[in-house]
């Protein structure tokens, strides 16, 4: 009886030892950081943990979706991609594969940053503000981000919570290329913006720039409409000028009512010798003008034309030669 009890106890001890030994060598996949949901660009380290009782050299193998991917105790993802999502397992030379552990990698913790400037047109002496814009994922709205600014690749503002960089008085030398970096507070994800070129204009160039910008940003078809209006206006102006010139021309030729026109001059033609002439002469005895008819007398006609006008105060007598 005693022998039977001893044998049973020994068998139970052997079974327990075998079970404990099997469970001790079963590996477990752990994540660092302890997250199974990360974003693209983040880093992650997986470890194949085995029981400390395992002695000697141990070989490790990693599997993703049942495909072999790695052969060390740890497997690292430096900058996660969406394609890194999957089921991970590890196995040692003294154990079976571990349980499957799922990793999810989302498209972005935050969007690629961009730089905007204010004002859009910068002149010497203006206050220039650069802003680094990004958008957090809806899954991590509470994530703390830090921002840094660079001019021609040289750091001009260290990482901080401020996403703006200000130049109180812009100078021509501030016309440079600018970028900004955005990173998480744990420095695990960092993204760099595209390059933005800032142009600082001299004082007095603002009006010229505005004019050029207006012409460049005109809506399609606006230039054609403007040209048509300009041509129509020019034709109308020319037509009005022609009408005005015609009006002025005719007002010079045709006297208008009420205008004082100069008296027309009486032209005397020198008579020919063979024609009979009628002329006037003053009788010194009577003081009256008399009309004479005779052959031409040039000298008398010339004297008559040169004499000043006189009022005829007596009736005229016609005396035939």
- Cis before residue 21, ω within 30 degrees of 0? no
Percentage of residues of the chain with pLDDT beyond 90: 35
pLDDT for the residue 225: 60
Mention every residue, 6+ apart, whose C-beta is less than 8 A from residue 313. Answer: 287, 288
- pLDDT tens readout for residues 59-99: 899 999 999 999 899 999 988 888 999 999 999 888 888 99
Report in angstroms the alpha-carbon separations of 189 from 115, 151, 183: 19, 22, 5
Higher pLDDT, residue 140 or 163: 163
Domains of the chain (ranges, CATH numbers):
19-106 (2.60.40.10), 114-206 (2.60.40.10), 277-320 (no CATH)
Start-to-end CA distance of the chain, whole Å, equals 205
Higher pLDDT, residue 149 or 137: 149
- Provide mean pLDDT across the span 282-302: 61
DSSP for 276-301, written as a single string: -EEEEEEETTTTEEEEEEES--HHHH
Residue 172 has pLDDT above 90, yes or no: yes
pLDDT for the residue 265: 47
Place 319 in a pLDDT band, splitting at 50, 70 and 90: very low
Place 41 in a pLDDT band, splitting at 50, 70 and 90: confident
* Residues 183-218 as b or e (16 or more Cβ within 10 Å = b): bbeeebbebebeebebebbeeeeeeeeeeeeeeeee
Percentage of residues of the chain with pLDDT beyond 70: 63
- Provide mean pLDDT across the span 8-35: 64
Q: Report the chain's C-alpha Rg in angstroms.
A: 57
pLDDT for the residue 289: 66
Q: Which of 134-138, 183-187, 199-203 has the highest mean pLDDT?
A: 199-203
Q: Which two tokens stand for residue 237?
A: 């102006």
Average pLDDT, the chain: 77
Give the Cα separation of 97 and 88 in Å (integer). 10
Give rounded-to-5 percent helix, strand, coil for the chain: 25, 35, 40
pLDDT for the residue 249: 83
Of 47-51, 97-101, 108-112, 272-276, least confident by mean pLDDT is 272-276
C-alpha triplet 286, 288, 292: angle, nearest 5°: 110
Among 138, 181, 186, 144, which residue's Cα sits nearest to residue 161? 144
Q: Which of 43-52, 126-135, 230-239, 250-259 has the highest mean pLDDT?
A: 126-135
Mention every residue, 6+ apart, whose C-beta is less than 8 A from residue 200. Answer: 122, 123, 124, 126, 128, 170, 171, 172, 174, 175
pLDDT for the residue 21: 47
Q: Scan for tokens 């054609």, then name that residue.
A: 224
């Amino acid at each position: 009886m005693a022998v039977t009890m001893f044998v049973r106890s020994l068998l139970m001890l052997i079974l327990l030892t075998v079970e404990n030994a099997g469970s001790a060598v079963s590996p477990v996949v752990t994540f660092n950081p302890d997250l199974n949901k990360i974003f693209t660009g983040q880093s992650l380290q997986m470890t194949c943990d085995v029981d400390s009782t395992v002695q000697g050299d141990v070989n490790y193998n990693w599997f993703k979706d049942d495909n072999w991917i790695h052969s060390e105790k740890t497997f690292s993802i430096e900058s996660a991609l969406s394609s890194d999502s999957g089921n991970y397992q590890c196995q040692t030379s003294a154990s079976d594969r571990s349980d499957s552990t799922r990793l999810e990698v989302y498209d972005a913790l935050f969007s690629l940053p961009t730089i905007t400037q204010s004002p859009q047109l910068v002149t010497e002496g203006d206050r220039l503000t650069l802003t680094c814009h990004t958008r957090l994922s809806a899954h991590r709205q509470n994530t703390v981000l830090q921002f840094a600014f660079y001019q021609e690749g040289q750091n001009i503002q260290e990482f901080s919570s401020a996403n703006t960089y200000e130049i109180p008085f812009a100078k021509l030398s501030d016309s440079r290329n600018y970028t900004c970096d955005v990173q998480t507070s744990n420095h695990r994800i960092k993204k760099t913006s595209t390059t933005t070129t800032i142009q600082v204009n001299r004082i007095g160039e603002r009006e010229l720039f505005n004019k050029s910008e207006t012409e460049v940003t005109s809506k399609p078809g606006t230039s054609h409409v403007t040209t048509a209006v300009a041509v129509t206006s020019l034709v109308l102006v020319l037509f009005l000028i022609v009408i005005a010139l015609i009006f002025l021309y005719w007002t010079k030729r045709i006297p208008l009512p009420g205008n004082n026109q100069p008296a027309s001059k009486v032209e005397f033609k020198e008579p020919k010798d063979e024609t009979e002439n009628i002329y006037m002469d003053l009788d010194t005895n009577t003081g009256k003008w008399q009309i004479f008819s005779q052959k031409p007398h040039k000298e008398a006609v010339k004297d008559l034309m040169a004499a000043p006008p006189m009022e005829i105060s007596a009736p005229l007598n016609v005396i035939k030669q």
